[in-house]
């Protein structure tokens, strides 16, 4: 169905990540590519002045965790870790890789983002390809 799928995962939600990764594996064409993406958000300096080592460790740990997840599930995927704003980074990767589908999870919304989570909402509004939003 899809040649290149960007699958955006959150390290804090492992069960949802497994569901999203299984969905990507079911939808990717034979010979297609799954790109697992996780974004380590920057902490504004007015909130905390984190040493660079903390960010570097978070990137390394995320890379290892997602590579292990893909290996454990026997799903071949390229793991990409970025820093910055999640929606912006996910959209950039989808553009760079010429993805034809983005799979993203969404949480139960509050009043500020009633229909979708804030990240999922931004991705749906700005993506140049199809987007599958997994609720729950």
Top CATH class, 2-135: alpha beta
* Token pair in block for residue 83: 């820093």
Integer angstrom CA distances of residue 101 from 3, 33, 43, 86, 108:
8, 11, 29, 17, 22
User: What is the residue extent of each domain of the chain?
Assistant: 2-135
Q: What is the mean pLDDT of the chain?
A: 88
Give pLDDT, residue 112. 46
pLDDT over threshold 90, residue 127: yes
Integer angstrom CA distances of residue 57 from 44, 62, 63, 101:
18, 8, 10, 30
Tens digit of each residue's pLDDT (9 = 90 or more) over 10-66: 877 778 899 999 999 999 999 999 999 999 987 655 556 667 777 788 899 999 999
How many whole angstroms separate alpha carbon 67 and alpha carbon 80? 10
């Amino acid at each position: 169905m899809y040649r290149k799928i960007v699958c955006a995962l959150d390290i804090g939600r492992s069960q949802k990540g497994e569901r999203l990764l299984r969905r990507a594996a079911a939808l990717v064409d034979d010979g297609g590519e799954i790109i697992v993406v996780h974004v380590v958000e920057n902490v504004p300096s007015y909130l905390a002045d984190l040493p660079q080592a903390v960010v570097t460790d978070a990137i390394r740990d995320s890379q290892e965790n997602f590579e292990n997840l893909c290996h454990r599930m026997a799903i071949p995927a390229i793991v990409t870790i970025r820093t910055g704003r999640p929606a912006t980074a996910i959209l950039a990767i989808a553009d760079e890789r010429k993805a034809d589908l983005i799979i993203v999870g969404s949480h139960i919304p509050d009043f500020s983002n009633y229909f979708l989570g804030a990240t999922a909402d931004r991705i749906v509004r700005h993506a140049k390809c199809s987007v599958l939003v997994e609720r729950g």
